[in-house]
Amino acid sequence: MIEQLFFGETDRGEFASRFILENKNGMWIEVSDFGALVLSISLRDKNGFMRDVALGFENMEDYLNTETGMGAYVGRNANRIKGACVNIEGVNYSLETNEGNNNLHSGYNRSHCQIYYSKKGIEDRGEYVEFYRVSPHLEQGFPGNLAQVIRYTLTDSNEFIIDYEMYSDMSTIVNPTNHTYFNLDGHDSGTVLEHELEIYSDAFLNINEEMIPTGDVVNVSDTPMDFRIRKRIGNDINVDFIPLKYANGYDHNYVFENDRKLKKVAKLYGADSGITMTVLSDLCGLQIYTGNFLNGEKGKDGVCYQKNSGICLETQFYPNACNEKKFPSPLLEAGKKFVSRTIYKFELQ
């Protein structure tokens, strides 16, 4: 049975809850109707000890006072939009400039600072909590009243499934993601530089000094971006390679087929816990971010999260795809439905 607990109260007098889902293996996840946040992901390591592998904060207020996006559902549009402007059906829409001249994660009015309606349930695969909210026309600058449904499911196969379902009364941009920072040795274990990573992609998007894709798709061969064979994250992170220098580490989008079929895109290996995490997605992009700008934020259990304390594996359309005609489009036409699934599958090696 899903446990529901008090989490906090917003400055608008809205009450927020924490929801705890647990499977038959003793794995549990904790999510909230405040921002559709992922608060904790806990499971047993190879020695039978419980480890919380998601970075996060103790209190709801801490999520309001951070730009880290810790555990966040990111909508309407994840990642960067060049010039903080998008043209939809001949109309220009101006967005907030919250990273230089560009828009990052839809601006300051973040989706993970809103209260969502919640619904608890169980299906054949396992328990779920579903969050729902209508983002009103021109919220974050985007057109249309956008109905957003985010469902979190925990299966008895230790799969954490994220399902998105969205529709709008006007054509708009829809590019959601989840911004959980993972550390498979435990959120309190230090950096992920000793973790190993596989990314099942031959190419990544080149970026400029503002971290906006140039439009060029670059083969990973003979570059520090090549993770086709399992590799320690820290091996090449400080190599003198311009895209890495621009991002202060890994913060790049890897390219996959735009066939909307669910496929394995990456696998992460803990350094000493024996825990692995396979990522599956039906989208064409995967943003890898190694927590390059974490800077001592005080998290759960009083832990200070430093640079590289966690890694985000964000399934999404490409950054600035709404302005780059060569990229698959994140445009959702009026009256049509957007659906997408991401799976984080945890196992022991």
Residue 303 has pLDDT above 90, yes or no: yes
- Residue 93's pLDDT is 98
Residue boundaries of the structural domains of the chain: 3-348
Q: Which string of b and e fits 39-73 if b means at least 16 CB within 10 Å?
A: bbbbbbbeeeeebbbbbbbeebebbbeeebbbbbb
pLDDT at residue 11 greater than cutoff 90? no
What per-residue confidence (pLDDT) applies to 101? Answer: 97
pLDDT at 65: 81
Average pLDDT value for residue range 63-81? 95
**pLDDT range class, residue 62, cuts 50, 70, 90:** very high
314 is catalytic: yes
Is-catalytic flag, 137?
Answer: no
Q: Does residue 289 register a pLDDT over 90?
A: yes
Q: Would you state the pLDDT for residue 90?
A: 96
pLDDT (mean) for 296-301: 96
As a whole-number percent, the residues of the chain with pLDDT over 90 amount to 98
Would you state the pLDDT for residue 151?
98
For residue 305, pLDDT over 90 is answered with yes
Residue 2's pLDDT is what?
96
What Å distances lie between residue 329 and 66, 75, 197, 255, CA to CA? 30, 16, 28, 14
Asked if residue 254 lies in contact with residue 244, where contact means CB atoms within 8 angstroms, the answer is no
| In the predicted structure, residue 130 carries a pLDDT above the cut 90 | yes
Q: Spot the catalytic one: 105, 179, 187, 195.
A: 179
pLDDT score, position 319: 98
The pLDDT tens digits of the residues spanning 133-189 come to 999 999 999 999 999 999 999 999 999 999 999 999 999 999 999 999 999 999 999
Phi/psi-derived region of residue 182, left when phi > 0, alpha when psi is between -120 and 50, beta in every other case: beta
Instruction: Return the pLDDT at 204.
Output: 98
Confidence grade of residue 66 (pLDDT, cut at 50, 70, 90)? confident
pLDDT value at residue 184: 98
Give the closest residue to 80 by CA, choosing from 333, 321, 325, 328: 321
Record the tokens describing residue 255, joined without a space.
Answer: 């390219």
Mean pLDDT calculated for residue range 229-255: 98
Model confidence over 340-349: pLDDT tens digits? 999 999 999 9
What does the pLDDT read at residue 85?
Answer: 98
- Considering the domain 3-348 in this protein, what is its CATH number? 2.70.98.10
- Residue 89's φ and ψ, nearest 5 degrees, are 55, 45
The distance of Cα 240 from the centroid of its chain, to the nearest Å, equals 27
The token pair at 220 is 């990973």
Give the C-alpha separation, 278 to 346, whole Å.
Answer: 7
Judge contact between 112 and 69, C-beta under 8 A. Answer: yes
Closest to 167 (Cα-Cα) out of 149, 183, 187 = 149
Confidence of residue 283 (pLDDT cuts 50, 70, 90): very high
pLDDT above 70: percentage of residues in the chain: 100
- Residue 64: predicted pLDDT: 87
Beta-bridged to residue 219, according to DSSP, are 203
